[in-house]
Amino acid sequence: MEELEKAGFFSGEIKKQSKTKLNDQSVDIVAKAASALPSVERVGFSTQLRLLFGREIKKLLRDKASLVVRLSSATVFGILFGLVFFNVGKSSYVEYPEVMASFGAIANLLISTMFSVAQSALMEFPQDRPVFLREYSTNHYAILPYFFAKFTLECFTILLTVLMQQIAAFFLYGLQMNFFAFLGLNFMLAIASTSIGIFIGSCVEDPNVAAELMPALIVPQLLFSGFFIQVDLIPEFLRWSQYLCSLTYAIRLAALFEFGDCETESCQDLLFSNGVKQLESHWYWIILIAIAAIFRITSMVVLKNKASF
């Protein structure tokens, strides 16, 4: 009996030792196989940017109809504004209605710019968001080249849209300001509006929810821009909201471009009642750039946090 038990004990020990030896050999084989595999290196920022930019261009070319419709719509609206406000800028600005006509023409063009680009960004980004979250979470690329690639192509399409609309409207308006200064202002307002739209789009998952948030983006801009009601007539407890609206700074800059050198009482009344000369013109540029930068960086942070969980 004892001999059988000893035999069983020793046979168990032999099996245990052989199993351990096999496991050690398996680990060694796996380690050697892993060391023989070529090491995977992460591509650099420039390579990621180039590939992502190429993908954005292919996406744009694949959807050429959307770009054509967008440019055509901007041109048609520009012509419409130009015909409605035909030659309003060629007046002497002595009478207040003449000043308000030019101010209305400028404001309508800026509002059209803001509305078109913000709506496009607000609706498009929630559609791209699931793709980004999936690819970023699987370490396909970093968030910075992704945003840079989208921003670069976005600047191109926005510039085309703004240029087509302004060419159609500006010369029909007969405005006295510099064409390129107004183009730069339209472009900067569009970038700021797009940044806000991207921020809202990055926070929501459903494009339909994003569409419902569109009035929250547009309506306050209209109310505090000084177009529908002069800023000094807004109650003081609400007047501070004007400083959160990019359209306010754009309209004030445009008013400075058009009426800044005008010495008539009507021009000065408009500038004073809308607080146009509260700041120097360069501060309005700085604030517009800051709004665009803050909302875009915040969008990056929001998306990165969502992809990390």
- Residue (of 216, 213, 239) closest to 226 by Cα position: 239
Q: What is the DSSP string of 233-288?
A: GS-HHHHGGGGG-HHHHHHHHHHHHHHTT--SHHHHHHHHHTTGGGS-HHHHHHHH
pLDDT of the residue at 75: 94
What token pair was written down for 68?
């054509």
Contact 53, 153 (CB under 8 A): yes
Q: Could you give the CA distance from residue 226 to residue 207 in angstroms, rounded to a whole number?
A: 31
Taking the alpha carbons at both ends of the chain, their separation in whole angstroms is 62
State how far the Cα of 8 lies from the Cα of 53, in Å rounded to an integer: 70
3-state helix, strand, coil in the chain (%, to 5): 85, 0, 15
Query: How far apart are alpha carbons 259 and 270 in whole angstroms?
Result: 9
* CA–CA gap between residue 299 and residue 294 (Å, rounded): 9
Q: 160, 73 in Cβ contact below 8 A? A: no
Contacts of 233 (CB under 8 A, 6+ apart): 273
Site of tokens 């290196």: 41
Contact between 248 and 222 (Cβ < 8 Å): no
Report the C-alpha gap between 76 and 70 in whole angstroms: 10
* Phi/psi at 273 (5° precision): -65, -25
* Type of residue found at 221: Q
Contacts of 230 (CB under 8 A, 6+ apart): 273, 274
- Radius of gyration, CA atoms only, the chain: 30
- pTM recorded for the entire structure: 0.82
Residue 22's pLDDT is 41
Ordered mean pLDDT values, 10 residues apiece, the chain (309 residues): 43 46 44 42 79 90 88 94 94 92 93 86 78 81 89 92 94 94 95 89 78 80 81 82 88 94 91 88 94 92 77
pLDDT digits (tens, 9 = 90+) for 141-182: 888 999 999 999 999 999 999 999 999 999 999 999 999 999
